[in-house]
């Protein structure tokens, strides 16, 4: 018998007392939770699958949910909303948590909660549930968003609150006849158009190279094409509007870049991440389009923004990214920061060319009508309006306090030696 998960109530003795809306992915955790909530919480379960581009068969997910006895199932196509209102703001903010992770999973959680809350209100539900563990970040994102948008509803997190292990869940699924794919048995996977995250199993050893079966969106660099591919991305007000001179809707542009960059092995991320709960974790991501677009956007900003804007915005971007990563999407500060970010993006218009080759990514060209780059100022072969004689006085003043501090340090040292 599996400890802490099998119901202690006999079938037929339960009286329905709750109506719970569950964030349902079709995977191990949430499939187990449908039965768990029915058996242990006396609940009718309404399952909600929000499509943010996870490349899964929503019809099969719905069939599975209904087979497990849900009261209702909702499949919501939120891909366009996700691309325009969540991913694009992240591009503007150069959102890379700890300089590596494009917060692909993080961005989808507030959107999923928004849809869940709408459905909960339509169905007079009594609670909201998710399948997050007590060790990860997603529990924070769901719980804080639940509390922000539906504080009157119960928040239920069975995997965390009952301390369910992956082994216990697999045993429970087997006993209840719940189908679990081979991939789900091996890894914990989350996907959206902005990226794919993979955890568990051998990946928990930070010293082991990820096996190739971990990756689905990216070709191993050794097998990537032997010829580089160039891509051209046009930005307007800080967001991409065309790929290789073809205007595209946000969703389609991201999809195409995922395919192109993934084919060349671009977008694999393996890093040690600091979770909110204090744990250092080894994380594996595939983010082809995100890797390309963020690199291009940062490069274009450096061309059109002043040094002061670039340096100041780095701090704003870092704070915005942390809020999104840390489950504080609904905090007023995010909108405050976006007011500055959006203003700065008015000049981020132009085109960036990049070279993709064997897992590598390199910006090879950029142009903009708002460019602050003046070739005449940097040209060493001709006389320009830049008066080089001014540099001598500038350097003297620029380093004056540094010079004074070191003179003082030497004076004190000399005095100590004399004594």
By the 10 Å C-beta count (0-12 exposed, 13-18 middle, 19+ buried), 71 is classed as: middle
Q: Is CATH 3.40.50.620 the classification given to domain 18-192?
A: yes
**Residues 127-181: tens digit of each pLDDT:** 999 988 888 899 999 999 999 999 999 999 988 887 777 777 777 777 777 777 6
Q: Which residues of the chain have pLDDT under 70?
A: 1-14, 181-185
Q: Which of 104, 108, 109, 344 is catalytic?
A: 109
Q: Which of 25, 188, 197, 344 is catalytic?
A: 188
* Buried b or exposed e, range 143-181, using 16+ CB within 10 angstroms: bbbbebbbeebebbbbbbeeebebebbbbbbeeeebeee
**Residues 8-50: tens digit of each pLDDT:** 344 445 577 889 999 999 888 888 889 889 888 889 999 999 9
Report the C-alpha gap between 96 and 324 in whole angstroms: 11
Q: What dihedral do alpha carbons 395, 401, 407, 411 form, nearest 10°?
A: 170
Q: Which of 138, 143, 190, 317 is catalytic?
A: 138
- Which strand ranges, in their side-by-side order, compose the sheet holding 268-274? 188-192, 195-199, 280-286, 268-274
* Closest C-alpha among 298, 305, 283, 384 to residue 92: 298
CA 224 to chain centre: 25
Listed in sequence order, the residues at least 6 apart from 401 whose beta carbon sits closer than 8 Å to its beta carbon are none
Architecture of the domain made up of 217-367: Alpha-Beta Complex (3.90)
The answer to whether 250 and 90 have CB atoms below 8 angstroms apart is: no
381 is catalytic: no
75 is catalytic: no
CA distances from 320 to 30, 62, 251, 252, 340 (A): 30, 35, 22, 25, 11
pTM for this model (two decimals):
0.91
188 is catalytic: yes
pLDDT of residue 293: 98
Q: Which of 29, 143, 190, 317 is catalytic?
A: 29
299 is catalytic: no
pLDDT of residue 244: 97
Maximum separation of any 2 CA atoms in the chain, in Å: 94
CA 237 to chain centre: 21
């Amino acid at each position: 018998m599996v400890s802490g998960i099998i119901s202690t109530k006999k079938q037929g003795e339960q009286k329905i007392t709750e109506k719970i809306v569950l964030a349902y992915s079709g995977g191990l955790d949430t499939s187990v939770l449908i039965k768990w909530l029915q058996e242990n919480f006396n609940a009718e379960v309404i399952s909600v699958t929000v499509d943010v581009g996870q490349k899964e068969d929503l019809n099969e997910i719905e069939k599975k949910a209904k087979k497990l006895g849900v009261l209702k199932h909702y499949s919501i196509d939120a891909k366009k909303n996700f691309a325009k209102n969540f991913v694009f703001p992240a591009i503007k903010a150069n959102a890379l948590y700890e300089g590596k992770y494009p917060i692909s999973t993080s961005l989808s959680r507030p959107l999923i909660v928004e849809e869940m809350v709408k459905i909960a209100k339509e169905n007079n539900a009594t609670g909201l549930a998710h399948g997050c563990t007590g060790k990860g970040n997603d529990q924070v994102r769901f719980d804080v968003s639940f509390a922000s948008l539906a504080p009157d509803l119960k928040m239920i997190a069975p995997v965390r609150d009952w301390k369910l292990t992956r082994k216990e869940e697999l045993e429970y699924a087997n006993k209840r006849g719940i189908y679990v794919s081979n991939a789900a048995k091996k890894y914990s996977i989350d996907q959206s158009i902005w990226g794919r995250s993979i955890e568990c199993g051998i990946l928990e050893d930070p010293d082991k190279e990820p096996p190739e079966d971990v990756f689905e969106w990216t070709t191993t660099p050794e097998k990537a094409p032997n010829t580089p591919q160039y891509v051209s991305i046009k930005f307007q007000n800080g967001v991409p509007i065309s790929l290789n001179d073809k205007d595209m809707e946000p969703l389609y542009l991201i999809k195409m870049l995922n395919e192109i960059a993934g084919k060349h092995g671009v977008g694999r991320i393996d890093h040690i991440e600091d979770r909110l709960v204090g744990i250092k974790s080894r994380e594996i991501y595939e983010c082809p389009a995100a890797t390309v677009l963020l690199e291009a956007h940062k490069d274009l900003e450096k061309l059109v923004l002043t040094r002061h804007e670039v340096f100041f915005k780095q701090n704003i971007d870092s704070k915005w990214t942390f809020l999104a990563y840390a489950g504080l999407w609904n905090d007023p500060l995010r909108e405050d920061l976006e007011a500055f970010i959006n203003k700065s993006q008015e000049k981020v218009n132009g085109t960036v060319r990049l070279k993709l080759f064997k897992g590598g990514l390199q910006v090879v060209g950029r142009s903009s009508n708002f460019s602050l780059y003046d070739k005449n100022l940097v040209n060493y072969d001709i006389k320009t309006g830049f008066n080089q004689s001014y540099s001598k006085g500038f350097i003297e003043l620029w380093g004056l306090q540094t010079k004074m501090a070191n003179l003082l340090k030497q004076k004190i040292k000399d005095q100590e030696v004399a004594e």
